[in-house]
């Protein structure tokens, strides 16, 4: 594929959307041809699946169903939005991707890496990202910064102990996937944005 694929990962409130916005501003200034998208969602069908997954009333959803719905939304969004954009040479920036499933469903829900990797094999193989930026801030610090969890989001409601497991899940993945890079989030949001831009330039992504 001709374009480059950048994905952002991190715990709730880690600042992914802010950093994606700051990166987009810089790329626009430079005239780069790019799209910004997100998971779960990013296409009409995947957004419909997102509503089912995040609906706080769906408390009876079992862990396997959750993992498979994330994987279903992912493959639809991948084939409908991401792959066509990459094929015509665009840079694709995606807010969350397969490493969210490994951290949330694989580690924190306890389904295990093999199960989650199995149902996401295309996203880890043929359509693996060129680089995954993990915004490294603990869930406790992140929740304090965003003043608590969102009550309309089933996943955010799961409590700090769950999100600590997610964080550990991410840290474990850093050692395993060489394209996954931790970005330290100390200082201002502009300091973090500068770190991200430098990393992407040094790696020849932008
Ligand atoms: P969202 O509101 O987009 O959260 P954020 O702004 O933090 O990205 O909701 C996505 C939620 O879904 C978030 O809690 C993370 C979770 N998630 C998974 O559990 N597995 C996944 O594969 C993905 C993509 C997201």
Q: What is the CATH number of the domain that holds 106?
A: 3.40.50.300
Substitution candidate for ligand 1 out of 40, 99, 135 with most atoms within 8 A of CB = 40
Structure tokens of 88? 């015509």
Any atom of ligand 1 within 6 Å of the Cβ of 7:
no
Any atom of ligand 1 within 6 Å of the Cβ of 123:
no
Supply the residue whose CA is at minimum distance from atom 11 of ligand 1. 155
Supply the residue whose CA is at minimum distance from atom 20 of ligand 1. 101
* Number of compact structural domains in the chain: 1
3-state secondary structure of 182: strand
Q: Between the CA of residue 169 and those of 19, 55, 114, what are the distances in Å?
A: 22, 24, 14
Structure tokens of 80? 């409908």
pLDDT at 18: 98
Any atom of ligand 1 within 6 Å of the Cβ of 192:
no
Any atom of ligand 1 within 6 Å of the Cβ of 40:
yes
Supply the residue whose CA is at minimum distance from atom 19 of ligand 1. 104
pTM of the model: 0.97
HSE at residue 185, side-chain half, CA atoms within 13 A, is 20
Structure tokens of 51? 């509503």
pLDDT at 1: 73
Domain that holds residue 157: 5-202
Could you read off the pLDDT tens digit of each residue along the chain, which spans 206 residues? 799 999 999 999 999 999 999 999 999 999 999 999 999 999 999 999 999 999 999 999 999 999 999 999 999 999 999 999 999 999 999 999 999 999 999 999 999 999 999 999 999 999 999 999 999 999 999 988 888 888 889 998 899 999 999 999 999 999 999 999 999 999 999 999 999 999 999 999 99
Neighbours of 175 (CB within 10 A): 8
Q: Could you give the CA distance from residue 41 to residue 66 in angstroms, rounded to a whole number? A: 14
Any atom of ligand 1 within 6 Å of the Cβ of 156:
yes
Q: Supply the Cα-derived Rg of the chain in whole angstroms.
A: 16
Question: Rounded to the nearest 5°, which phi and psi values hold at 205?
Answer: -80, -35
Any atom of ligand 1 within 6 Å of the Cβ of 100:
yes
Would you say 169 and 106 are in contact if contact means Cβ atoms under 8 Å apart?
yes
Q: Could you give the CA distance from residue 54 to residue 47 in angstroms, rounded to a whole number? A: 11
């Amino acid at each position: 594929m001709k374009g480059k694929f950048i994905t952002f990962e991190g715990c709730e409130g880690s600042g992914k959307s802010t950093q994606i916005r700051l990166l987009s501003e810089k790329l626009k200034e430079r005239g780069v041809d790019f799209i910004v998208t997100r998971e779960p969602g990013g296409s009409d069908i995947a957004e419909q699946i997102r509503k089912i997954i995040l609906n706080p009333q769906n408390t009876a959803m079992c862990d396997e169903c959750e993992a498979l719905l994330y994987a279903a939304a992912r493959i639809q969004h991948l084939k409908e939005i991401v792959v066509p954009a990459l094929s015509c040479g665009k840079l694709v920036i995606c807010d969350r991707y397969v490493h969210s499933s490994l951290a949330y469903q694989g580690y924190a829900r306890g389904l295990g890496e093999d199960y989650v990797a199995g149902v996401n094999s295309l996203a880890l193989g043929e359509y693996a990202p060129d680089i995954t930026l993990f915004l490294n801030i603990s869930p406790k610090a992140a929740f304090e910064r965003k003043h608590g969890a969102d009550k309309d989001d089933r996943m955010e409601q799961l409590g700090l102990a769950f999100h600590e497991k997610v964080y550990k899940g991410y840290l474990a993945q850093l050692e395993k996937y060489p394209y996954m890079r931790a970005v330290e989030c100390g200082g201002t949001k502009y300091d973090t944005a500068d770190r991200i831009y430098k990393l992407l330039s040094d790696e020849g992504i932008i």
